[in-house]
Structure 1
Amino acid sequence: MNYRHGYHAGNFCDVFKHLILMLLIEHFKQKEKGFTVLDAHAGDGSYSLRGELAAKTGEAEAGILRVLAFPHPSPALADFLSLVRRLGLPDAEGKLTSYPGSPRLARALLRPQDKLLLSDIHPDALSALERLFRDDRQVRIRPLDAALALKSQLPPESRRALVLLDPPYEEPDEFRRQLVALKEAHKRFPTGTYAIWYPIKSPEPVRHFHRQLAASGIKPILTAEIHLAPLNNFQLNGSGMTIINPPWKLDTQLGVVLPELLAALGAEKSGKIRLEWTVPE
């Protein structure tokens, strides 16, 4: 696998995905009992916005940097932006020098009784994670692909877990592999919350995945999508998250904050939000 997320760090897909991740974790924290976050495609954990990879694409300019300039954000969006600012190593002028990936964002939100499990198979990512979380007893890092991570780490001792699956979708059968892994994980741990992120270029692969997931018998399943432009088959126009066992009232919360995010990205006229129950309770 040659994918390096540094080219895309802080783009609109990251903002969408990580905003939802934060909301999910905050819902878990409403109960005192500890929980586990399993990030099955952890990546580097943090990405330079001043380095060569980010400079080649400039995707953060139209993503997180644009959203940070949005005036008067709602409390949920403001909390997310505050977290990104705190973790993004701002320079003397207050501008971000890095973008925190899901491992850093999740770790910053955890309480002492919570745990973070990280898996990846890319040597550079594993080295970066070891540097970030050296001597952190709440974090465990494993050199495993996502399927093996789910098999070996679920169910967690706490019996409460949020699982994030966000592969790069480089392989043409990625949706199929996600479906297989989810079915197996759900059999082993049916009460877990699973958040599956995906890019949107052409609608049919996504819709086919949703049809197969709905036919699996797994429920409830909530789907949220952000579209910046009309769909076509050639470029990244949207980002989605399908959530198995979503927390109570998450759909209501997303119905408020996602249209706001669309406006913050400057796409309220060209884009749209899709929020629906793929499979209701």
Structure 2
Amino acid sequence: MLAYRHAFHVGNHADVLKHIVLLGVLERMAAKDKAYWYIDTHAGAGSYQLGERMAQRLAEYETGIGRLWGRKDLPPAVAAYVEQIRAFNADGALRTYPGSPALAGVMLRPQDRMRLFELHTTDHRLLANTWGQQAHVEVRQADGFAGLKAMLPPPSRRGVVLLDPSYELSSDYGQLVAALRDAVTRFATGVYLVWYPQLQSLESIRLPKRLKALSPAGWLHAQLTVAAPRDDGFGLMGSGMFVINPPFGLQENLKTALPWLARTLGQDGAGKHLLEAHTP
């Protein structure tokens, strides 16, 4: 996990799905005047330059945000997301991709608070340089799974938690479930967003079922597949977002966005989607 750098994958199909869901949640949190906390357990560098070496090495953004940049037929949730990305690229050229902290930062109001965790030394330094001086933001170089415990429940009793580990180690799955189980016990009404990779591994396949067991008050599960399974069993087929306590209206927005994204970002006709939800 200490070797993982999100800059290699920035702006890809997984970021598109993650950030559409994140922005949809934060927009609905701001519908009420009462303050909320945004907590990111694996914040990364916060923002990325697409012309830099790491982003150019795989250039995954070209088949992610790059495919949406010039489109005029965007569904509402996708259009809202692209509009936020455009705000970071004032001249109209796609050069900067904001990470989750940057997108959340522009959505926060004066009464809201942001807490960011990042363990990687270089990414933490970049994150702290951007956000460390903000009065309403706290940046910590620490394990977000462990640090989450001290953050919950937030004083306002309203909060959004994004859990987005690298999953480079199979132990990340177990740590995620354990951290989330503890978090829901401490703060049952929080909104929890979990991103996960869609792989041909038992840990990845079983994760949504494990998350459903932690969500008695309701959940939403969105999955975007862009590639067919490979014969060798490796490779990223897509990704998923699992939301505990999803705000009202989020599912409706994704109903039109996900099928469109599957058609637009799918490779060689492999695009498909899944959207399911449970409200007791």
Q: TM-score, normalised by structure 2?
A: 0.93
Listed as ranges, the gaps of 5+ residues in structure 2 are: none
1:208-257: CA deviations, max 9, x gaps?
Answer: 22233334464312110000123342111111011111111321221111
Structure 1 stretches of at least 4 aligned residues deviating more than 6 Å after TM superposition: none
Cα distance change on mapping 1:44 and 1:105 into 2, 3 Å? same
Match of 1:66 in 2: 67
Q: Give the drift of 1:35.
A: 0.8
Q: What letter corresponds to residue 41 of structure 2 in structure 1?
A: A
**What is aligned with 2:21?**
20
Q: How does 1:1-281 map to 2 (within 5 A)?
A: 1-87=2-88, 89-90=89-90, 94-202=92-200, 204-216=202-214, 218-232=216-230, 233-266=233-266, 269-277=269-277, 279-281=278-280
Rounded to whole Å, the distance in 2 between the matches of 1:180 and 1:134 is 29
CA distance in 1, matches of 2:204, 2:64: 23
- Residue 266 (structure 1) shift: 4.9
Structure 1 residues 238 and 127, CA, compared in 2 at 3 Å: closer, same or farther?
same
Cα offset for 1:258? 1.5
| C-alpha deviation, 1:141, in angstroms | 0.8
Partner Cα distance (1:72, 1:268) in 2: 21
Q: Determine if contact 1:90/1:96 at 8 Å carries over to the other structure.
A: no
RMSD: 1.7
Aligned residue-pair number: 277
Q: Are the equivalent residues in 2 in contact too, given 1:201–1:235 (CA < 8 A)? A: yes
Long gaps (5+) in structure 1: none
TM-score computed with the length of structure 1 as normaliser: 0.93
State the 1:147 CA deviation: 1.7
> C-alpha distance in 1, partners of 2:49/2:111?
30
Aligned-residue offset at 1:45: 0.3
Q: Retained in 2: the 8 A contact 1:229–1:271? A: yes
